[in-house]
Amino acid sequence: MADPLHQFQIQKIVDLPDVTLPGIGPVDLAITNSHVAMTIAFVVVVAFLAIVTGGAKVVPGRLQSVGETLFGMIDNMTDSIIGHDGRKYFPFVFTIFLFILAMNVLGMFLSFTATSQLAITATFALLTFGLVLVVGFARNGLGFFALFWPTGAPLVMRPVVGLIEFFSFMLRPITLMLRLFGNMMGGHIALKVFAGFVATAVIGTAGAAGFFIAPLSLGMTVGLTALEFLVAFLQAFVFAVLTCIYLNDVVNLGHGH
């Protein structure tokens, strides 16, 4: 059976000469399949929004209402979770949601899923975590550390609860990164494993049992493909919701929102 992990390999498409950066060392600038997948996702998002808003009418057409639904969904989300100041953070959440959604969904059509690379999900998680830190310190100053001093708990318990809060805060980028990565990688491995069963049965390696294995595995592949489309949307949505919740923690710090 073919290696189900082969799809996650980074392959160079156009090899460019290495560049040596001071302090970092040699950097490989080759254009890889990962670059290509992300660029396509970027172009798709920009083109989609350009088409949708190009001929905007008061009564939206079919395409325009798709764009308006996506826009309205994230707008509602930032509004209901972050509250009054939600609009300010809408561009960040919407950008990250659309980009992840485009990469997830394109992963179902291309042979490479950009979000199944740990480096890419880690970048998104660090961006979000960094924004939360910056917003937290900019809005609250050193009052940001009140996040780790739960006034609702009894005084004796506060250091302990605060320590737990601190660790769960520091774990946020890691879980954010691993959730997206794990879901995309897991789903695509399962898809390829079942597709591999079909191929194994069809070429006759499994003998007569192949007559039962092939249709069963093919049905499973079809079902899993449908599930993967759901997961592709759900994971982008969950990433956006969690970004909103983490931003809400620091935006409405101490307001008990």
Residues lying near another protein in the complex (CB under 8 A): 5, 77, 80-81, 175, 178-179, 181-183, 185-186, 189, 234, 237-238, 241-242, 245
Please give the structure tokens belonging to residue 51: 């088409």
Helix (H, G, I), strand (E, B) or coil at 107: helix
Q: Are 224 and 113 in contact (CB under 8 A)?
A: no
Which of 5, 51 has the CB closer to another protein? Answer: 5
C-alpha to C-alpha distance for 183 and 191, rounded to whole angstroms: 12
What sign for the dihedral angle of Cα 226, 228, 229, 230? positive
Residue 64 near residue 52, CB atoms below 8 Å: yes
Nearer to another protein, 11 or 175 (CB): 175
- Residue nearer to another protein on the CB measure, 201 or 247: 247
d(CA 66, CA 57): 13
Q: Would you say 141 and 147 are in contact if contact means Cβ atoms under 8 Å apart?
A: no
Q: What is the smallest separation between the CB atom of 238 and another protein, expressed in angstroms?
A: 4
Nearest to another protein of 52, 244 (CB atom): 244
* CA dihedral over 178, 181, 183, 188, signed as positive or negative: negative
Q: How far is the CB of 56 from another protein (least distance, A)?
A: 28
- What is the closest distance, in whole angstroms, from the C-beta atom of residue 113 to another protein in the complex? 15
Q: Which is nearer to another protein, 74 or 201 (CB)?
A: 74
Shortest separation between residue 38's beta carbon and another protein, angstroms:
22
Are 179 and 235 spatial neighbours (Cβ–Cβ below 8 Å)? Answer: yes
Select 74 or 251, whichever has its Cβ closest to another protein.
74
Q: CB of residue 80 vs another protein: minimum separation in angstroms?
A: 8
Residues 239 and 97: their CA atoms lie apart, in Å, by 7
Q: Which residues pair with 31 in a beta bridge?
A: 14
